[in-house]
Amino acid sequence: MVKRTTIIEIITVLNIILFLYTGIAKIQDYEVFIEQLGENPILAPFATAIAILLPIVEFVIVLMLVVPRWRYKGLLVTLTLMILFTGYIIALFSISTEMPCSCGGIIEFLSWKGHLAFNGTFILLDLWAIILYKRQKKENLQTWNAANEYGVSHG
């Protein structure tokens, strides 16, 4: 059986690749990114702010996931952002299926249903990693408490 730590690390690396890749793609194609945001009826009023802040947020998430001390919080932020992206896609899909995608990189070539499946997969992976992380933390605490209970003399 694969250890929890390995599963958590694999999911973390997948998220690092995703957010690093999309953040870089947005910066490399900044003009296209901001133009697509401007064509979006939901995001157009906030296009400039989103175009600046979203890649920064994606890079902060990468940093959180890379630093072991911040990893759990990074997974929570990643999950939250993926849920927000999915909600945005559903809202956009209810308006029109012909809206431009401002995701960045090869992800922008997915259909809207493809985006939902992609995001849904990452949401499930992130939930799994968070659950495993909490279980691992609980077991580590129980092991530590048991070791202290038997290792401390009461005399």
pLDDT of residue 102: 66
Q: Is residue 151 part of a domain?
A: no
Phi then psi dihedrals of residue 111, to 5 deg = -70, 170
Does the pLDDT at position 119 exceed 60?
Answer: yes
Q: Is residue 128 part of a domain?
A: yes
Q: Is residue 153 part of a domain?
A: no
| The pair of three-digit structure tokens given for residue 46, joined into one six-digit string | 């906030």
pLDDT digits (tens, 9 = 90+) for 126-152: 999 999 999 988 887 777 776 677 665
Q: Is residue 87 part of a domain?
A: yes
Q: Provide the residue range defining the domain that includes 107.
A: 4-145
Q: Is residue 52 part of a domain?
A: yes
Mean pLDDT of 116-132: 97
- Split at pLDDT 50, 70, 90, the class of 92 is confident
| Number of domains into which the chain is organized | 1
The model carries a pTM of 0.84
Phi then psi dihedrals of residue 103, to 5 deg = -70, -40
Contacts of residue 126, Cβ cutoff 8 Å, sequence gap at least 6: 11, 15, 75, 78, 79, 82
